[in-house]
Amino acid sequence: MKRYKPTKEEILAAAGKTVPDLIAPDLRVLFCGINPSLYTAATGYNFARPGNRFWPTLHAAGFTPRRLQPEEQQELLSYGCGITNFVERATVAAAELNKQELVAGGKLLVEKVLHYKPRVLAMLGVTAYRDAFGRRDAAIGLQPETIGDTRLWVLPNPSGLNAHYTPDALARVYGELREAL
């Protein structure tokens, strides 16, 4: 399958666009990104930007039997996993978001979780989680709070810009969540 590569103009025109959630009731885990990149919004597929390590990490951690391409994201539902974001609008970088947007996104996320009831909500980025939920001391891993019966888990952001985690380290930390499920 040849991957669609948006033009520079299409990427720039994607500012502020949204990407639909990949979600269903009673998932094992709902992965929550910070917000879509312009590349993701231009393609319409989550974590589509080349260099984003989400799809390779899911496979390496054992969530999927093979490495899925962003265009195959719908297949993720068959493995009991879905995708949403704290903030729906696409930006060049997550740093463009303000704390108020993350707090508002956190409130919408709570409603979404109470409606769909995933077993675990896995937030991809500790800083976004801290800002959205006012948990200044939160760290990577299982959180003491829940949303209804849904456990909260914080994972490192898989962006290629997150130099703190190598691909092996991401696979190990994401694998800890998979093993806990």
- Cα(108)–Cα(140) distance, integer angstroms: 22
Looking at residue 1, its pLDDT comes to 54
- What is the residue-wise DSSP string for 63-114? SSSS---GGGGGGGGGGTEEEEESS-S-BS-GGGS-HHHHHHHHHHHHHHHH
Q: What is the CATH number of domain 8-180?
A: 3.40.470.10
The predicted pLDDT at position 160 comes to: 65
Name the average pLDDT for the chain. 93
3-class state of residue 159 by DSSP: coil
Distance CA 152, CA 55 (A): 21
CB 14 within 8 A of CB 38: yes
Which pLDDT belongs to residue 124?
96
Of 45, 168, 112, 180, the residue nearest 154 (C-alpha): 180
In the chain, what are the domain boundaries? 8-180
| Residue at 145: amino acid letter | E
Confidence of residue 156 (pLDDT cuts 50, 70, 90): very high
Q: Using one digit for the tens of pLDDT, what is the confidence trace for 111-141?
A: 999 999 999 999 999 999 999 999 999 999 9
- For residue 134, what are the contacts with CB-CB under 8 A and spacing of at least 6? 103
- Of the candidate ranges 10-24, 46-60, 84-98, the one whose mean pLDDT is the lowest: 84-98
pLDDT for 163 equals 67
Cβ contact 57:171 at 8 Å? yes
Predicted TM-score (pTM) of the model is 0.94
Poorest-pLDDT segment among 1-10, 37-46, 113-122, 166-175:
1-10
The pLDDT value given to residue 2: 59
Structure confidence at residue 90 (pLDDT): 92
Nearest to 156 by CA among 144, 171, 143, 145: 171
Residue identified by tokens 């989680």 is 129
Tell me the pLDDT tens digit for each residue of 89-110.
998 888 788 889 999 999 999 9
